[in-house]
Structure 1
Amino acid sequence: MSASLVVLTDFLAVSNCALSYAATLAVPLHAHLVLLHLRHDGLLSPDEYSRQHTPQGEKQLEQVLGKLVTSLAVPAEVEISEEFLPDAVTDTVHHHHPLMLVLGRPGTATTPTELISVTVMDLLRTAPYPLLIVPTMGWEVQPPTHLLLAVDGQEFSLGLHAGVVDKLRAGFGARLSVAHITSPTDPQPPKSRETVWSVCASGLASDLTATDVHELKYPSVAEGILQAGHELRADMLVLIARRHSLLGSLFHRSVTAQVIRESQLPVLVLPSPD
């Protein structure tokens, strides 16, 4: 059985960067796509969410999704769920054990930023798999060639999902850089060696050196990560989401949530049980 990527997005949208990007990733990862369509979700299925279902409408939906699958250049299947997001995703990952989930982040001005944060938080809490958030506008879909990992200087573990970054690097020949953002008032000296050790100890990378680590000072950690991504010309950001940060009030104010809301690059969030 081949590896899989579970895609969560508005499949009926005119432009679908998340699906295109997932298809781009699937080829070198030797993975197939699972298109999970949620009928009852205001973020991922806005049109269906606001209208009543009819047998004719359901048949048309199946036809549209079927055509979408056949138009893809990679193997794909569709799953239509009547469940709400947490239960639907839990069932799907239990069945497919995907390499990652791919979530399309809406780009409309009418989408509340809090709704995006809630969706990401729910996914990380109920299905702790690598989660790739893809902006739906403002960037060009292209293979990742430079991954930028943002760390806080503390040790972390990734469990069974530590190898997903290695798979991306091997599949695309991508390089990995690390950004450690601290406040300008932080008196601590740079700790590049300690950062290298913590990343290698997590299993995320084994070939990292101190020259790959960028110690940066910035008033806002989230803004520093976004700026580092721009200055270093990264095309994917990688963040670590610790389990204790997924409490509602903490997560909405977290660096992870802010980067996800504002990034013009795909953001890969790796859940850590720490």
Structure 2
Amino acid sequence: MTPSLVVLTDFFAVTNRALSYAAGLAVPLDAQLVLLHVRYDGMPVPAGYGGQHTPRGERKTDRALLKLAAEQTVPTEVNVAEGFLPEALTEAVRRHHPLFMVLGRPSDATESAELFTSVVMDLLRHAPHPLLVVPPVGWDAFPPRRFLLAVDGEPFAFADQDHQEVVRRLLSATESTLDVVHVTDDTRARPADGVVLATVRANDLVNGFAESRLHEVYSPTIVGGVLEEAARQEADVLVLVARPHSLLGSLFHRSVTARLIQESPVPVLILPAGE
């Protein structure tokens, strides 16, 4: 079966940029694209694109989607769904078995950023599947060459074995490297030697992960430390592991994950962890 990437589209320019990024990744991954459009689900949509649920508006949406699919450089199909976004994504995962979903982050206006982050966290809770969030501006490197995985030092395992393969396939397809950052802040002590490295090696994300690629840093805040190390490493993609239930102070606590999604200047790949 040809692998696929499911791209959520609402016709905003930011989404189109995310679509271009997804299409670029689809080439080395030898994957096809699926444009997923969910009829108005409480999120803002451009005027005239079916927001009022009129037959004329919905026909215009369908024509625009087909045109958008035809313009892509890789095989692309259209999936128009009704109802709520989490349910639509769950069905898209069941039907298309994507490597990951792709979602474009809107501008940094506070209201839209908070709404977007709330949607992403809701999706991770109800439709746990790898999700790539592409920021509107600020990143230029393509294809990505440097991936940076942020870990909290606690053992983790992915919710699905296939999720582990996402990183391996991306690294192989783009001939990229993987580094790991662990941040110690004012509330968290540094783990014993070897503990963080063991949590990474236990998941076999790469063959023979080298100790030199683990970066232990101190920062007053977890978010600040991760983003500073990402800048120092000139990372092209930030990778996060989203735990379904995490303790306050964990790197993957909901508020920390949300801020990294909002503030990262480079795409963020979120991988759901198991219980």
**TM-score with structure 2 setting the length:** 0.90
- 2:84 maps to 84
With over 3 angstroms needed to count, the CA separation of the structure-2 counterparts of 1:184 and 1:52, relative to structure 1, is: closer
- 1:257 maps to 258
Q: Does 1:171 align with 2:173?
A: yes
Which range moved further: 170-179 or 151-160? 151-160
Provide the rounded CA distance (Å) in 1 between the counterparts of 2:85 and 2:75: 24
Deviation at 1:245, TM superposition (A): 3.8
With over 3 angstroms needed to count, the CA separation of the structure-2 counterparts of 1:110 and 1:224, relative to structure 1, is: closer
Cα root mean square deviation, aligned: 2.5
3-state SS of 2:77 partner: strand
Deviation at 1:51, TM superposition (A): 4.1
- 1:57 maps to 57
Provide the rounded CA distance (Å) in 1 between the counterparts of 2:35 and 2:247: 26
With over 3 angstroms needed to count, the CA separation of the structure-2 counterparts of 1:49 and 1:273, relative to structure 1, is: farther
Deviations 1:57-104 (A, max 9, x none): 222221111111111001111111121101111111111111101111
Deviation at 1:185, TM superposition (A): 6.8
Provide the rounded CA distance (Å) in 1 between the counterparts of 2:120 and 2:256: 13
8 Å CA contact 2:50, 2:60 repeated in 1:
no
- 1:198 maps to 199
With over 3 angstroms needed to count, the CA separation of the structure-2 counterparts of 1:257 and 1:246, relative to structure 1, is: farther
With over 3 angstroms needed to count, the CA separation of the structure-2 counterparts of 1:221 and 1:39, relative to structure 1, is: same
8 Å CA contact 1:121, 1:246 repeated in 2:
no
Which range moved further: 228-237 or 43-52? 43-52
Provide the rounded CA distance (Å) in 2 between the counterparts of 1:83 and 1:176: 38
- 1:219 maps to 220
8 Å CA contact 2:50, 2:57 repeated in 1:
no
Deviation at 1:244, TM superposition (A): 0.6
Provide the rounded CA distance (Å) in 1 between the counterparts of 2:90 and 2:187: 43
Deviations 1:15-57 (A, max 9, x none): 7221011101111111111100112134463546894232222
Deviation at 1:12, TM superposition (A): 4.5
8 Å CA contact 1:117, 1:252 repeated in 2:
no
With over 3 angstroms needed to count, the CA separation of the structure-2 counterparts of 1:39 and 1:94, relative to structure 1, is: same
3-state SS of 1:35 partner: strand
Which range moved further: 180-189 or 205-214? 180-189
8 Å CA contact 1:42, 1:49 repeated in 2:
no
- 1:151 maps to 151
8 Å CA contact 2:178, 2:213 repeated in 1:
yes
With over 3 angstroms needed to count, the CA separation of the structure-2 counterparts of 1:178 and 1:71, relative to structure 1, is: same
Provide the rounded CA distance (Å) in 2 between the counterparts of 1:194 and 1:14: 40
- 1:9 maps to 9
- Residue 239 of structure 1 aligns with an amino acid whose one-letter code is L
8 Å CA contact 1:190, 1:215 repeated in 2:
no
Provide the rounded CA distance (Å) in 1 between the counterparts of 2:264 and 2:231: 10
8 Å CA contact 1:36, 1:81 repeated in 2:
yes
- 1:268 maps to 269
3-state SS of 1:244 partner: coil
With over 3 angstroms needed to count, the CA separation of the structure-2 counterparts of 1:189 and 1:195, relative to structure 1, is: closer
Q: Does 1:233 align with 2:223?
A: no
Q: Identity of counterpart residues, as a percentage?
A: 50
**TM-score with structure 1 setting the length:** 0.90
Structure 1 unpaired stretches of 5+: none
Provide the rounded CA distance (Å) in 1 between the counterparts of 2:79 and 2:247: 27
With over 3 angstroms needed to count, the CA separation of the structure-2 counterparts of 1:60 and 1:198, relative to structure 1, is: same
Which range moved further: 200-209 or 47-56? 47-56
8 Å CA contact 1:239, 1:269 repeated in 2:
yes
Deviation at 1:187, TM superposition (A): 4.9
Which range moved further: 24-33 or 45-54? 45-54
Provide the rounded CA distance (Å) in 2 between the counterparts of 1:246 and 1:46: 39
